[in-house]
Amino acid sequence: MTPCLLQNTPYKGLFLLILIFVALEYIFNSSSDIRGAIFNTTKSRNNNYVPLWKSLWFKENGTNISTNLRNYNLNSSNSLDYIVTPFYVIGNATSMYSENDIISTNRPSCPDISQYLYGKVHISKHPVPSVQTLQHRFAWLRAGGHWSPLNCTVNKKVAIVIPFRCRAEHLLLFLQHMHPFLKKQQLDYTIFVLEQDNKGPFNRASLMNIGYIEALKLRKFDCFIFHDVDLLPEDDRNLYTCPEQPRHMSVAVDMFSYKLPYPAIFGGVSAISTEHFKLLNGFSNSFWGWGGEDDDMSNRIRHHHLYISRYPIAIARYTMLRHRKDSPNPHRFNVLKKGQKLFDRDGLNSLTYEVLMEKETLLYTWILVKLKPPPTR
């Protein structure tokens, strides 16, 4: 398995600099309260990878964050190697919702559609902002990557779930773009980053299922938007809400010449109500590696006599951030075919995972998970 540190060759220089920085810090600094943008990756001298929670970076006011680890066997060999997460320790994080929820009972309902929408929005891909820059710029956020209007109550609460691994730069660009975008839409929203540890192939669908389950433990969300980290919406009239039917949001992507690749596509960005997601039994957990899981969801939607709704192509436009194309999972068509009989057995009710770490940073709620590896073929 290639560690994510080495996957992005264009960023090698940057990573090298960070490594030098890490090494210097390691030598000169052992216990201070560390705050700032941290791209974590720590390697011990004898070539055994030091788990992130052991690294000196993970200290908050002198307390090691490892106390936050849940159900994780600290002595196991499954250390949290190589995970590159822009991590920032927030000093005095208040609970993300409580205060706001209390006042909310006395406020009028917000209008269904915000009055601050313009249409086309600017997309910025360079430079990649630092975590500190974003923290200062978005000081209006509440812990966990949450915001809601102050003078009115939004009836439907939205969770944005991002399946994630090894895309730190994309995440920063995404957050830079999305927080103002969602605020302008006057939503009550929270951004969740579901990071898979570095074991085994990526499972986008399982991460989204876990995002759903874990988010609902924190708050009664009404609507889930499942969002690839590399897609930035170009028009603020593309509302991040859940309509009557599941909505495929990323209709027109620049990389696909702003054309829908095929009518049943459900990948990229999609919105499903909490209720419907439960009815559909979430996504299938059987798609490992790139592709297919969204097509299976498309089948589930049809099977349950729901349909995919979409905004017009002129509104549902997205810019995709550049990355190396992942090699598609060659088994996905088989899994897709077999999956048609498994909708009620493979999904939310068959999910096996472990939360390794959960943390409310100012910009997002971060949930690091370990999945049960796929059965060997």
Contacts (CB under 6 A) with ligand BGC, residues 322-341: 332
Residues 6 or more apart whose Cβ sits within 8 Å of residue 38 = 57, 86, 87, 88, 131
Give the nearest distance from C-beta 327 to Mn ion in angstroms.
13
Neighbours of 65 (CB within 10 A): 17
Contacts (CB under 6 A) with ligand BGC, residues 295-314: 295
Question: Which segments of the chain does DSSP mark as H helices, in order?
Answer: 4-7, 12-28, 98-104, 131-137, 168-184, 204-218, 274-279, 293-303, 332-339
Part of the chain binding ligand BGC (CB under 6 A), chosen from 146-154, 290-298, 308-316, 365-373: 290-298
Closest to 183 in 3D by CA, of 369, 376, 363: 363
227 binds, among Mn ion, ligand BGC, none (CB under 5 to 8 A by kind): none
230 binds, among Mn ion, ligand BGC, none (CB under 5 to 8 A by kind): Mn ion
59-60 and 86-87 strand pairing? unpaired
Part of the chain binding ligand BGC (CB under 6 A), chosen from 52-60, 191-199, 291-299, 362-370: 291-299
Q: 3-state DSSP call for residue 218? A: helix
DSSP label at residue 30: S
Give the nearest distance from C-beta 253 to Mn ion in angstroms.
9
The rounded distance, in Å, linking the Cα atoms of 229 and 293 is 16
Part of the chain binding ligand BGC (CB under 6 A), chosen from 93-101, 145-153, 289-297, 306-314: 289-297
**Does residue 261 touch ligand BGC according to CB under 6 A?**
yes
The rounded distance, in Å, linking the Cα atoms of 181 and 200 is 34
The rounded distance, in Å, linking the Cα atoms of 70 and 50 is 18
Part of the chain binding ligand BGC (CB under 6 A), chosen from 137-145, 245-253, 287-295, 310-318: 287-295
**Does residue 169 touch Mn ion according to CB under 5 A?**
no
Nearest to Mn ion of 214, 293 (CB atom): 293
Contacts (CB under 5 A) with Mn ion, residues 205-234: 230
Nearest to ligand BGC of 185, 284 (CB atom): 284
Give the nearest distance from C-beta 185 to ligand BGC in angstroms.
25
**Does residue 292 touch ligand BGC according to CB under 6 A?**
yes
